[in-house]
Amino acid sequence: MIILDGKKVSNDIKVEISEHVKAIVSKGEKVPHLAAILVGSDGASMTYVNAKVKACELIGFKSTLIELPEYTTEDELLKKIHELNSNSDIDGFIVQLPLPKQIDEQKVLMAVDPKKDVDGFHPTNVGKMALDLPTFLPATPYGIIELLERYQIETSGKNVVVMGRSHIVGRPMSILMSQKRKAGDATVTVVHSRSKNLIEITKSADIIVAAIGISEFLTGDMVKDDVVIIDVGITRVPDATKKNGYRLAGDVHFESVSQKASYITPVPGGVGPMTIAMLLKNTLLARERHA
Ligand code: GUN
């Protein structure tokens, strides 16, 4: 069994990007600038956004974190988005999800200028992705594609089971892996909360992408030998033996599944760091397109 080391691969990608930044600086050009909007104080979202901002600093990007209170209205958030859309110093920006319930997520995502939409969530960019046109790929699926590619895992003709149909991970992942592309050409099945005969389907999978948000849902008896496992889940599970009172768990029961898997991503240190690296890659792309 081989661990798919997202931390190492994401560091390799960050080194590649920082080389680009050095070249930009040596030519006296403007470095990429990413902004992130965080509404409210959800613990996990704060951790993710801070990690994104810190990654920018490390590789030499400029970053701006805009923190808005939990009670922010939809109009106030839309106003902020319009400001970022028209601020020519900002190459790309993201609005961290989820948003407080008084705000319509679709309205917000549609307000982002597609040229600055480095999360790839705007319908224009989702449409381009579905049509194989160049665009910003959503960072988590893009990171998984990159991880499969860099470990040279064969996907062509393989049975891929994507667990979950979220707009951020499951849906785009299923589209990308069925396309004629790197880490694509797979036969993709999407399973979700209404799927029947789940174990029959997961047992037929050569590759499983687990993105359902239920900790340790996929267990060893649900997979076949030599399966490739990509675990997107990351939830806090109460654990009295830990100082902070919790441990991080994926959607995969690592102990039992890793005994059968040929490759598996750990949690943490698998998909998470890749997501951040690909967001940086999209920001560099936005800067280059913007130039
Ligand atoms: N919330 C969970 N994943 C993501 C992501 O990739 N981007 C944003 N903006 N919010 C998220």
Q: Is the pLDDT of residue 98 over 80?
A: yes
Given a cut of 90, whether residue 250 has pLDDT beyond it is: yes
pLDDT for residue 291: 60
User: In the predicted model, is pLDDT for residue 65 greater than 80?
Assistant: yes
* Number of the ligand 1 atom closest to the C-alpha atom of 275: 6
**Catalytically active residues, by annotation:** 52, 96, 119
pLDDT digits (tens, 9 = 90+) for 218-232: 999 999 999 999 999
Shortest-distance Cα residue to atom 1 of ligand 1: 97
3-state secondary structure the chain: CEECCHHHHHHHHHHHHHHHHHHHHHCCCCCCEEEEEEECCCHHHHHHHHHHHHHHHHHCCEEEEEEECCCCCHHHHHHHHHHHHHCCCCCEEEECCCCCCCCCHHHHHHHCCHHHECCCCCHHHHHHHHCCCCCCCCHHHHHHHHHHHHCCCCCCCCEEEEECCCCCCHHHHHHHHHCCCCCCCCEEEEECCCCCCHHHHHHCCCEEEECCCCCCCECHHHCCCCCEEEECCCEEEECCCCCCCEEEECCECHHHHCCCCCEECCCCCCHHHHHHHHHHHHHHHHHHHHC
**Count of beta carbons in the 10 Å neighbourhood of residue 38:** 21
Ligand 1 atom nearest 119 alpha carbon:
7
Q: How far apart are CA 42 and CA 26, in angstroms?
A: 39
The percent of residues in the chain predicted with pLDDT above 90, rounded, is 98
Residue 44 or 283, more confident: 283
* Residues in the ligand 1 pocket, defined by CB under 6 Å: 94-97, 119, 139-140, 168, 275
- Pocket probe mutation, ligand 1, options 121, 168, 234, max atoms within 8 Å of Cβ: 168
Nearest CA to ligand 1 atom 9: 96
Q: Residue 268 pLDDT more than 90?
A: yes
Residue 88 has pLDDT above 80, yes or no: yes
What is the Cβ-side half-sphere exposure of residue 105, based on CA atoms within 13 angstroms? Answer: 10
Give percent of the chain with pLDDT exceeding 70. 100
Average pLDDT for residues 276-282, to the nearest whole number?
98
Mean pLDDT computed over 250-277? 98
List pLDDT tens digits, range 8-32.
999 999 999 999 999 999 999 999 9
123-152: average pLDDT: 98
- pLDDT score of 136 more than 70: yes
Average pLDDT over residues 60-85: 98
| Cα 21 to ligand 1 centroid, rounded to whole Å | 24
Query: Which among 48, 49, 167 is the best mutation to test ligand 1's pocket, defined by most ligand atoms within 8 Å of the CB?
Result: 48
- Tell me what the mean pLDDT of segment 177-204 comes to: 97
- Sketch out the chain's domains with CATH numbers: 28-113 (3.40.50.10860), 139-272 (3.40.50.720)
Give the model's confidence band at 290: pLDDT under 50 very low, under 70 low, under 90 confident, else very high. confident
pLDDT of residue 41: 93
Residue whose CA is at the smallest distance from ligand 1 atom 11: 97
